[in-house]
A and B are shown apart, each in its own frame.
Chain A
Amino acid sequence: MTQTTQATGHLDPDLLNAFIDGELSPTESNGIQQHLADCHPCALRVLSATQLKTATARAARRFAAPPEALARLAAQLRPQESKRTARSYSFRSVAWAGLAAALVLALSLGGWWQAHQANTLSAELLDQHLATLSSGASPEVLSTDRHTVKPWFQGKLPFSFNLPDVLPADTTLKGGNLAYLNGQPAALLLFTIHKHEVSVFLTQRSGSPIATPLPGTRSGFSIHSATTHDLRIVAVSDVNPADLDLLVSAIEQTQSPR
């Protein structure tokens, strides 16, 4: 027993840790268990230390990886996507390309368009959408200034839109790009809310036969849509749905009243 206890006859702190961390041999563990059976203070210490270990793990797991970050990293591991060209992209471009890949994955897993617009958003358009995000690298227009972003789209799209004067708290405009959604040219606006990336697609409502609201959540992503007289707004992100709603509402309300 002298090996498993300190001079006081109780468990040495290092030994107690080794015990709860499963570092001891069966013989050593048995010796400790015998002591614990007879020693209330040490049994309490072991219980307390075990609880602390569990609580520490729980506290540490608060910062889980955002799904789109994991998707980007997973894409990096796939041989065909870890080619040298991929490395030459700027970090942001890889990020946005990965976001697109994550979206496609999330959306295809959820199959939301199969339910609502089975044939309208074809694989070809999806590819176009992906290509827009990945080949063009960073957003075509990279700016946090709505006075820069909005005019950039003029002449590139058959419709126009407004951007809110004031965005919800901790929401930042990052830039914009052209995209295709549901077979239509779309303005893709990139935002961050609490550092989560958000894609907002604006398309012309008249050209879109489908007006059914999209489902709220798929595979960890929230999908929110709204329609104005002229526009359909679809936002996708892994940020919490309430914050995403605030952004969609802000964009919706800033469009010209019907």
Chain B
Amino acid sequence: MSSDTTSASFEQLALPLLPSLYSHAFWLCRNHAEAEDLVQETLSKALRAFDSFQTGTNFKAWVFRILRNTFLTSRTGIAASRTVFLEDHPDLLGTTDAGPTPEDHLISLNNQAAVNQALDQLHPPLREVLLLCDVEELKYKDIALVLDVPIGTVMSRISRARRTLHQLLQPQRGESL
């Protein structure tokens, strides 16, 4: 195909994703200038690799995977990945969940500020999987593609992430018992 066709359809596919890519990049970098640089580099890489994108598969997952890999090889990403992104801390990412007790339901979600804070506190790999699921609304199989992990790992991380959010949103009552 001609390169014009390639870039036109790449633009068509990528343009609607810019707000999502930026927002997700911001969560990875926690810095506006870096987030923009990251998206810029992601777009440039994605355009160059666009030939390898298979029509019919999920473009969003494909480009989010490039975003993530670009982040992990960036200076900020390399620093972060040593500690949090690549190593699967068994205690943090494992599947040792007990089922929630009935008290776990009694969290206060009418306080958005508390939810904001809880999301900020969440361990980055757990937050990442939740953002892909709850914000970007990717299917588990696409999240598995972005994160390059098996779908079972996606499910256990989502489970763990939500459980941790629940715990962070619990009133302090639990500790005094």
- Evaluate contact between B109 and A79: CB separation under 8 angstroms: no
CB contacts (< 8 Å) of B32 on chain A: these are 66, 69, 195
Binding-face segment, A52-60, A178-186, A206-214: A52-60
SS class, residues of chain A in contact with chain B:
helix
Partner of A56, one of B36, B47, B134: B134
Interface residues as binary, A16-45 with B (CB distance below 8 Å gives 1, 0 otherwise): 011001010000000000000000010011
Residues of B within 8 A of A51 (CB): 109
**Residues of A in contact, count (CB < 8 Å):** 45
Q: Are A74 and B18 in contact (CB under 8 A)?
A: yes
Give the distance in Å from the alpha carbon of A8 to the alpha carbon of B99 in the complex: 10
A45-B100, A56-B135, A60-B131 are contacts. A69–B22 as well, Cβ < 8 Å?
yes
Residues of A with C-beta under 8 A to B15: 74, 77
Name the residue of chain A whose CB is nearest to the CB of B140. A23
Question: By the criterion CB–CB under 8 Å, are B39 and A73 in contact?
Answer: yes
Which residues from chain A contact B27 at a C-beta distance below 8 Å?
Answer: 60, 63
0/1 per residue, A68-101, Cβ < 8 Å to B? 0110111011110010000100010011000000
Whether A6 sits at the interface, judged by CB under 8 Å, is: yes
How many interface residues does B have (CB within 8 Å)? 53
B90 within 8 A of A: no
Please state if B39 and A17 are interface contacts (CB–CB under 8 Å): no
**Residues 121-151 (chain B) with a chain A CB within 8 angstroms:** 130-131, 133-135, 139-140
Q: Does A170 contact B (CB under 8 A)?
A: no
Question: Interface on chain B toward A: helix, strand, loop, or mixed SS?
Answer: helix
Asked if B135 and A60 sit within 8 Å, CB to CB, the answer is: yes
B177 close to A (CB within 8 Å)? no
**Closest beta carbon of chain A to B162's beta carbon, Å:** 6
Chain B neighbourhood of A64, CB < 8 A:
19, 22-23
Contact: B22 with A65, CB < 8 Å? yes
Q: Is the CB of B99 within 8 A of A65?
A: no
Q: Is the pair A14, B159 in contact by a Cβ cutoff of 8 Å?
A: yes
Q: Is the CB of A52 within 8 A of B166?
A: yes
Instruction: List residues 143-178 of chain A with CB under 8 A from any CB of chain B.
Output: none
Taking CB atoms, residues of chain A closer than 8 Å to B7 are: 79, 82
Asked if B1 is at the interface of the complex by the 8 Å CB criterion, the answer is: no
| Bound form: Cα–Cα A95–B39 in Å | 13
B14 at the interface (CB under 8 A from A): yes
| CA gap between A10 and B47 in the complex, in Å | 48
Looking across the interface, which residue of chain A has its beta carbon closest to that of B101? A41
Asked if A21 contacts B140 (CB within 8 A), the reply is yes
A183 to B175, CA, bound (A): 68
* A14-B156, A23-B139 known; A73-B43 Cβ under 8 A: yes
Task: Tell me the residues in window 208-227 of chain A with beta carbons closer than 8 Å to chain B beta carbons.
Answer: none
Contact A195 B33 (CB under 8 A): yes
Contact at A44–B105, with CB atoms within 8 Å? yes
A49 interfacial contact with B, CB 8 Å: yes
Q: Is the Cβ of B158 less than 8 Å from the Cβ of A21?
A: yes
Across the A-B interface, the 9 shortest Cβ-Cβ residue pairs: A65-B22, A55-B115, A59-B116, A59-B119, A60-B135, A77-B11, A56-B134, A63-B26, A48-B105
